Amino acid sequence: MKRIIFTLFVALILANTSSCSKDDKDETENNTETKAIKVPLGDPFIMLYEDTYYAYGTYSANGIAVYASDDLLTWKVPEEAKYGLALNKNDVWADRWFWAPEVYHVNGKFYMYYSADEHICVATSDSPCGPFKQDVLKPMIEGEKCIDNSLFIDDDGTPYLTFVRFNDGNNIWIAEMENDLKTIKMGTMTKCLNVSQQWEQVWPRVNEGSFITKHNGIYYMTYSANSYESQFYGVGFATATNIMGPWVKYENNPVFQMPGELVGVGHSAMFTDKEGNLCKVFHAHNSKTAIHPRQMYVTTVGFENMGGTDVMTIDSDYITPLLK
């Protein structure tokens, strides 16, 4: 078992499970004494900043929730986050459907990429806990519904954004961005992935939740397929030698689906932990009979050389973070 899984497993056994947590969908607004619960985030994202982990995800109807942790196991609502929200709907365009946030620290500023009312948006803050606000109250692409925007900055400093368009089911596109990290170069928009493999055709036509990392000069894009409501929601990956494509899906996808007792796993993102391990955060259904609230889990990612090609592997062992 990989080092992160072993270390965190031992820490979890030693942890005291009685704590203060939040309850119900907008639990961040009402403190109650209760036992620890699984972190209730769909489409989760974790950022490590100044020795603290911050998790963001789909959950609150009022914006984007944030949780903080020192060890990936035990999470809490940061005192700095008003109402437990890093982003409040009163500070941004749209007032509903706040989904799939990702937060990056670039040049002293925090950038949050997220979906609101099925449009991709970006907001900024001076703190990882927010408040994240928009300078101009509008989505990144006006007049077209898109979701799941994810930032990637290449080795030469060029920023790119991947996102989902609804022009053949859910499919993944990429575009270069201006250096302000807010403006898409519309003329560079290029299609990356659409439903094309048998495992993706359970229900309905969905490729979404993209995330790019680079390994030995090759771009690896993880993505999710099938409806998030399906127990067969899972993760595959594609590779490219040029970030604009063509992207080629791994022939043995999915690489992550129904690990252990979990179902509906997907919409994942990657981060590097304090020990230098490449990790993946993902969500799963609440149970085998209920989808919501979806819950956050963490595992590790590796690369295995197979026939001269490095294949991304995702560990089927995982840890279960708890909100206290």
Active site residues: 43, 208
Question: Could you give the 3-state DSSP secondary structure of residue 213?
Answer: strand
- Phi, psi angle pair for 237, to nearest 5°: -140, 160
- Phi, psi angle pair for 147, to nearest 5°: -140, 175
Look-up of token digits 């409501």 = 229
Q: Are strands 74-76 and 109-116 parallel, antiparallel or unpaired?
A: unpaired
Task: Specify whether the CB–CB gap between 15 and 238 falls below 8 A.
Answer: no
Task: Specify whether the CB–CB gap between 106 and 127 falls below 8 A.
Answer: no
Strand partners, 45: 56
Nearest CA-CA partner of 180 in 131, 109, 271, 127: 109
Look-up of token digits 């974790």 = 46
Write out the two tokens for 58: 């789909």
Cα 58 from Cα 118, distance rounded (Å): 13
Write out the two tokens for 222: 């993880």
State the Cα angle at 176 between 174 and 180, rounded to 5°. Answer: 130
Task: Specify whether the CB–CB gap between 28 and 83 falls below 8 A.
Answer: yes
CB atoms within 10 A of CB 189: 15
